[in-house]
Amino acid sequence: IIFIPLLIVLHNIRKCCIPNFNIRAAREAKKLTQRELAVAVGVSQSLVAQWERGARSIDDKHLIKLKQILDVS
């Protein structure tokens, strides 16, 4: 019984940190390189690459910035 709420919380955390849009497609539509996007968001180029591959989740602060820069909702 103790584990069920924890699993729900972990599921919700993971779900909120995965964007509902394709970062690479949105970046390319704006004609931005990974490096340019990284500078605009304030992260490294390698982190942007990891986000695009789905290897790393995105925290809320960076997700908000990404949505603003890429004009996605």
10-45 pLDDT, tens digit per residue, is 444 444 466 778 999 999 999 999 999 999 999 999
The pair of three-digit structure tokens given for residue 52, joined into one six-digit string: 């695009």
What's the pTM value of the predicted model, to 2 decimals?
0.74
* CA gap 1, 39 in Å, rounded: 45
Give the HSE-up count for residue 9: Cα atoms under 13 Å, Cβ half-sphere. 5
What are the helix (H) ranges across 1-73?
3-16, 23-29, 34-41, 45-53, 60-70
In which residue are the tokens 């584990």 written? 3
38-67 mean pLDDT = 94
Query: What was the pLDDT predicted at 18?
Result: 64
- Would you state the pLDDT for residue 3? 47
